[in-house]
Amino acid sequence: MSDSRSPEPSAAEKPRKGFFRRLRERLNQGESWLTYDLAHLLPGGKPDEAFIEEMETRLLTGDVGVDATEEIIGSLERKLWRDELKDTRAVVATIRESLLEILAPCEQPLVVPEAPRPWVILVVGVNGAGKTTTIGKIARRLGGQGHSVLIAAGDTFRAAAVEQLQVWGQRNDVPVIAQQAGADPAAVVFDAVQSAQARQIDVVIADTAGRLHTQENLMEELAKVKRVIGKLDPRAPHEILLVLDGSTGQNALIQARRFNEAVGVTGVAITKLDGSAKGGSLVAVAKELRVPIRFIGIGESVEDLDVFEAGPFLDALMEGTGAGTG
């Protein structure tokens, strides 16, 4: 393909506003589900307890999670008692401020340091979360930043996953280490890291099977992959990236807990923030795990995966598609 090796634009060059505008359009097909029709809820002009209850319901049904919702509602109630909520603008500003306190610490892009080499990213998540596609997009992004990349096709139980990664590799001149179906995933990843060491590759991105968080034996196998990588470099894997489907609501939070307990998540990528997703699960995960949110995704193309930025994300979440210039 003619554009297969063209580097991806740097973060400074990319059309940032375009991505978050598209995110807003997909989260809010019309008005924001969170801030819609607040004036109608305040016929007297000022919030009251009934209004606070309505906002609590919106947050919970938007998958923001119990802990984050309690924090946001607590802030609203304190300002209500102090008579600081004069109008809808004060309400929206308070909610945004509370959400920003939760999300801003998680605004940490994935940056590959100069050492060690190879820098190993272990990618985990359940089937259907978009893990394999995310790996391909990250490989292209890192290649565009000047890093040499190698992919380990560690999901040996799903032939389609291996084939999909091989296609990404061919398009972007990224080698893919794979073995026959049913091979030991730990052996595949071990071979890939060894190969990267020999070839002086900068980054290894290792896929894993889409492990159901309810299956203990699969979680144990994932822990084995992590241990085996550590035999080649005690510090590796240097990043354990959990890919979550943003449209699964509270299931995303349950998965995040389980994977974190099993292997210790160091970063999160949240995909599919379009369609039925409201974006609230991202807040719930940020509140619970307090780990960096590396990427968010809104579609299948390379341009539909971007680094997470708390401010633009909140603008997309809280503004209707006709509001602002985003």
Residues 265 and 142 in one domain: yes
- Give per-residue pLDDT as tens, 16-68: 558 888 888 777 665 777 877 776 777 666 788 888 899 999 999 889 999 99
What domain range is 280 assigned to? 119-308
How remote is the C-alpha of 164 from its chain's centroid?
Answer: 20
> 8: which DSSP letter?
P
State the residue for tokens 């995704």. Answer: 297
- Give per-residue pLDDT as tens, 130-171: 999 999 999 999 999 999 999 999 998 888 889 999 999 999
| CATH number of domain containing 186 | 3.40.50.300
Domain count for the chain? 2
Whether residue 262 is contained in a domain is answered as: yes
Residues 180 and 91 in one domain: no
Give the helix ranges, DSSP H, for the chain.
16-27, 38-41, 49-61, 66-81, 88-103, 131-144, 159-172, 185-199, 216-232, 250-263, 280-289, 310-318
| CATH number of domain containing 91 | 1.20.120.140
Residue 7: pLDDT band with limits 50, 70, 90: very low
Whether residue 241 is contained in a domain is answered as: yes
